[in-house]
Copies of this chain bind each other. A is one copy, B any other.
Amino acid sequence: MPNKLLLVASENKKLERIVTKSKLTRPIVQRYVAGTTLAEALDVTEQLNSVGIDVSLDLLGESVHDLKQSEAATAEYIRVIEGMAPRSASATVSVKLSQLGIVISSESCEKNLRRLLEAARAHGCEVEVDMEHSSVGRETLEIFRRSHAEYPETRVAIQACMRSTFQDLYEFGDNPPKIRLVKGAFDEKVDVAILDRDDVTAQYQHFAKWALANLPDPAFGTHDDACIETVKQTARELGIDKRAFEFQMLQGVRRELQEQLVREGYRVRVYLPYGTEWYPYLTRRMAEKPANLLLFLRSVVGS
């Protein structure tokens, strides 16, 4: 699926330092990232809201490796919620459990997540739990599952490429969660994930139909015309209202399509990252979009 070299690059710390300092990466960063501060991100949020697009704010940063950092990230996320709530009624926050310390301690990560969910609820906004590499994916889902009964408004990202996806969802039983269906952007092995590109697309479409028929308020995280068409058509066939689900896309990707879907009456939410730790996020985006690869490589070589 995504470019493997770039996925490896996304975890290379030395390369991260070089690329982050390079001025040549600035145009790419500006396209995909809403800025380095919450204030900038909230300005972009309002711009998007003004054309009918919802956002999900993502504080960049992943794989925190000590408790202090994970608590700082949690506190920062609570500030995001506090800053966001009065400016955008529909905004959500997207959080990676690796940022909340899943690698250090599952227990403290869960505690951090619950603090976040409580703060979000107090401010009338919702949280979306991003999915990460399978090395933490199952634990992410288990922590999410334990909070789900208490906070059913929370959404979790589910990857169509993963072989366990249906099992994972069925294990919720009669009370399935809100999901954001994505194809999957991590470098996974064939034993846990479907790797063939066309098969993943078909799997996404298959799952999308199932989600529309079986899950509450599903979100479809995709820029793929074929997948979007499947969602639209299935919703029509099942008589599902255009406002009973949503499309999610990344900041900087297919803006015209986003606005077109809004004009057609669909809900659209843009995943809006901000912060300074954009390197792993952007290398994954580059891995998905080969057209940007040359620009990106030039920024590495030029530094």
Stretch at the interface among A178-186, A192-200, A252-260: A192-200
Could you say how many copies of this chain the assembly holds?
2
> Which residues of B lie under 8 Å from residue A196 when comparing CB positions?
194-196, 199
> Which residues of B lie under 8 Å from residue A195 when comparing CB positions?
196, 198-199
Answer whether residue A69 sits at the interface, using C-beta atoms and an 8 A cutoff: no
| Contact of A202 (CB < 8 Å), options: B163, B205, B206, B210 | B163
If over half of A's interface residues share one DSSP class (helix, strand or loop), that class is named, otherwise mixed; here it is helix
Contact across chains for A191 and B210 when beta carbons are under 8 A apart: no
| Contact of A170 (CB < 8 Å), options: B163, B164, B170, B192 | B170
Contact across chains for B194 and A203 when beta carbons are under 8 A apart: yes
Closest chain B residue to A195, Cβ basis? B199
State A202–B203 Cα separation when bound (angstroms): 15
15 contacts between A and B (CB under 8 A): A163-B202, A164-B206, A166-B166, A166-B167, A167-B210, A170-B170, A190-B199, A191-B202, A191-B205, A194-B194, A194-B199, A194-B202, A195-B198, A195-B199, A196-B199
| Known pairs A192-B206, A194-B199, A195-B196 / 6 extra A-B pairs, C-beta < 8 Å | A163-B206, A166-B167, A166-B170, A167-B210, A191-B202, A194-B202
Residue ranges of A at the interface with B (Cβ–Cβ < 8 Å): 163-164, 166-167, 170, 190-192, 194-196, 198-199, 202-203, 205-206, 210
